[in-house]
Structure 1
Amino acid sequence: MGKITWKPGTMVYPVPAAMVSCGTLESPNIITIAWTGTICSTPPMTYVSVRKERYSYDLIKEGQCFVINLTTKALVHATDFCGVKSGKDIDKFKTTGLTPTASAKVSAPSILESPVNIECVVKEIKELGSHDMFLAEVVSVTIDDQYLDKTGKLRLDLAEMICYSHGAYYSLGSLLGTFGYSVAKKNKSKRPSKKRRPKK
């Protein structure tokens, strides 16, 4: 087995395929973003990287907020559509049949059909090159309660989440392990009890 060296490029895959909503409830827009992720736990912070020429760039910059809406198998068509069409030309909510809904803490709308809506307030804009990075603090998270089990645990596996990898969308596969399983102590099986000798 050999290795081939390529020129530097964006090869960290798979990545999220998120629909980011911005603008206002009265004039909403959606942009599909793959360049997003967690950058800090306390305070909870995330980012989206957007090209300056994209219609959503100015909406996010002016509104200083956005919502990251996680995507599912049922939303994959809309996810792709919102990534290749411009909000300058069409109303993406009306065209896709998605529903804009008021967010809890920000003026940007959330997507009702998404299982998780992550509301973000922009803290800094970093000019990087082809994209500018909007560093943001997460100020609210809304969960669709149909994905909560009886104990209140979030079961996103039931939502059939999707990801993006090198130009294609994929559904997530089967469970391979849970966090920390590689170092978890195995339950020691109980030793069989010694049989008592019958009394003579």
Structure 2
Amino acid sequence: MKQIWKPGTMIYPLPAVLVSCGDMERSNLITVAWTGTICTNPAMCYISIRPERHSYPIIASTMEFTINLTTESMAHATDLCGVKSGRDIDKWEVTGLTKGKGVNVSCPYIVESPLSIECRVKEIMHLGSHDMMIAEVLGVLADDSLLDPSTGAFDLGQAGLINYSHGHYYRQGEEIGRFGWTVKKK
């Protein structure tokens, strides 16, 4: 039997990401769990953030951001960037994370992140508590230590990614299958 609850956002787990915005001199980090893929061709994604957040006007004015996937070693920084405001502290300095110069955007990426996705905002949808920033992916920066030297295949499973689920952070689990494995011929 299932209990009936009021409407809520219970689609979990989600990636816990750090979004970087601004430029190399004045930038900020914001923790975001409301993020995802919209389209593969053209490559598009979204983030949803509250308009009162410090990063919101930075992104709205530059129309750029970078999504940085987070790992277990980045968990403390990920949480801190979600509970402290860039109005009050320099999150780069406090977390010890390293700024990398963006390739396709002016905002920095996080060097310690295994994968950074550089984005340009195409549209901001005002939805309620959060606004959705729909963005085109301009480039992806992948940590070459996760590349298999013989095949060139990228193994993000080895990165130690973390997820967010209803107020808690979790390590990503082990692989149980691969897309199409249920119909693969033996």
Short-chain TM bin? over 0.9
- Tell me how far 1:173 sits from its aligned partner: 1.1
CA distance in 1, matches of 2:96, 2:175: 32
Amino acid at match of 1:180: G
CA distance in 1, matches of 2:152, 2:76: 30
CA distance in 2, matches of 1:134, 1:3: 34
Aligned length: 185
Match in the other structure for 1:168: 168
- Tell me how far 1:154 sits from its aligned partner: 0.7
- Tell me how far 1:174 sits from its aligned partner: 1.4
Match in the other structure for 1:6: 5
Within 5 Å, give how 1:87-102 maps onto structure 2: 87-102=86-101
CA distance in 2, matches of 1:115, 1:39: 21
Within 5 Å, give how 1:175-186 maps onto structure 2: 175-186=175-186
2:135 is the counterpart of 1:156: no
Within 5 Å, give how 1:35-184 maps onto structure 2: 35-150=34-149, 151-184=151-184
Any idea what SS the aligned residue of 1:75 has? Answer: helix
Within 5 Å, give how 1:8-47 maps onto structure 2: 8-47=7-46
Displacement over 4 Å in runs of 4+: none
Any idea what SS the aligned residue of 2:134 has? Answer: strand
Amino acid at match of 2:175: L
- Tell me how far 1:185 sits from its aligned partner: 1.2
Which of the pair is proportionally richer in strand? 2
Q: Which runs of 5+ in 2 are unaligned?
A: none
- Tell me how far 1:175 sits from its aligned partner: 1.2
CA distance in 2, matches of 1:164, 1:15: 5
Amino acid at match of 1:155: D
Instruction: List per-residue Cα deviations over 1:143-166 (Å, max 9, x = no partner).
Output: 110010121111111111110011
Q: Which runs of 5+ in 1 are unaligned?
A: 187-200
Any idea what SS the aligned residue of 2:47 has? Answer: strand
1:28–1:100 CA contact under 8 A, matched in 2: no
Instruction: List per-residue Cα deviations over 1:58-109 (Å, max 9, x = no partner).
Output: 0000010000000001001100000000000000000000011111100111
1:30–1:87 CA contact under 8 A, matched in 2: yes
Amino acid at match of 1:59: I
TM-score by length of 2: 0.98
CA distance in 1, matches of 2:120, 2:19: 13
- Tell me how far 1:47 sits from its aligned partner: 0.4
Amino acid at match of 1:181: W
- Tell me how far 1:16 sits from its aligned partner: 0.8
CA distance in 2, matches of 1:80, 1:51: 17
- Tell me how far 1:169 sits from its aligned partner: 0.4
Identity %: 57
